Amino acid sequence: MTLNIVEQIDEAVAVRHVLISVSDKTGLDAFVPLLLAAVPDVQLYSTGGTHQALAKLLGPERAARHLRAVSDFTGQPEMQGGLVKTLDFKIYLGLLSETYNSAHQDDLGRVSGVAFDMVIVNLYPFTRTVAQAGVTPEQARTNIDIGGPCMVRASAKNFLRVASVTDPADYPGLARELAESAGRVSLATRWRLAQKAFAHTAQYDTAIASFLAGTELTAVRACYRIGS
């Protein structure tokens, strides 16, 4: 396997394209207007319920100017039940492409893609779900997020130019940094967010593994009509 070794990055990265898909929408109503104030031409890409919440927050005029559905961007409709929304080459090209890699830039041009500079993602509430009394294996299973952890890991891996935001508690600090730096995010902030992002996905996977390990097959069978 040939590894892609990067030699040149930028200390500060201008935020132009932001991918947002959150289960916990806490703080978006305060953060998004501050983001638009710091980056007046920012483009937001979103999915499902998050897209609906942002459209309501922005209003028709600003939504038409700043907000785009991921399905419109990729050209692929969401799978029924929202099972597949962001697992698309065009999305991951935008997450993992490198600024000074000409082949990556050619790929972006080839598919009319964009380089995402910030990713705001938090995951389905698995831990909260399994903490409820009487939760079934099926209720737990359906709250296992697939696309979310993939986006978090890809954006955090590419801290070289992407800010991976997983915690609403980070919104106020990010808003201040964007306001004070003409809409740019520093390497120090991108690195701190990447550390936090990988800790977040590790804790999430540990919670899933713990639940599966502690659940008997009889409880699984009880959830379903099982064919031959």
Here the CATH number for the domain that contains residue 165 is 3.40.50.1380
The yes-or-no verdict on residue 125 having pLDDT over 90 is no
What is the pLDDT of the chain when averaged over all its residues?
95
Contact, 85 vs 47, CB < 8 A? Answer: yes
Domain range for 165 is 12-221
The percentage of residues in the chain with a pLDDT greater than 90, rounded to a whole number, is: 90
pLDDT digits (tens, 9 = 90+) for 14-46: 999 999 999 999 999 999 999 999 999 999 999
The yes-or-no verdict on residue 83 having pLDDT over 90 is no
Domain assignment present for 193: yes
DSSP 8-state class, residue 171: H
Domain assignment present for 208: yes
DSSP 8-state class, residue 82: G
pLDDT in the model for residue 80: 78
pLDDT in the model for residue 14: 98
The yes-or-no verdict on residue 78 having pLDDT over 90 is no
Kindly state the helix (H) or strand (E) to which residue 96 belongs, with its residue range.
helix 89-96
pLDDT digits (tens, 9 = 90+) for 97-106: 999 999 999 9
Domain assignment present for 226: no
Domain assignment present for 213: yes
Domain assignment present for 215: yes
Nearest one of 90, 87, 89 to 78, comparing CA atoms: 87
Contact, 114 vs 91, CB < 8 A? Answer: no
DSSP 8-state class, residue 84: S
DSSP 8-state class, residue 71: H
Q: Where residue 4 falls among pLDDT bands split at 50, 70, 90?
A: confident
Domain assignment present for 195: yes
CA distances, 151 to each of 57, 79, 125, 140, 157 (Å):
24, 17, 16, 21, 10
pLDDT digits (tens, 9 = 90+) for 89-123: 999 999 999 999 999 999 999 999 999 999 999 98
Kindly state the helix (H) or strand (E) to which residue 20 belongs, with its residue range.
strand 17-22
pLDDT in the model for residue 196: 97
Domain assignment present for 139: yes
pLDDT in the model for residue 3: 85
Total domain count, the chain: 1
Domain assignment present for 110: yes
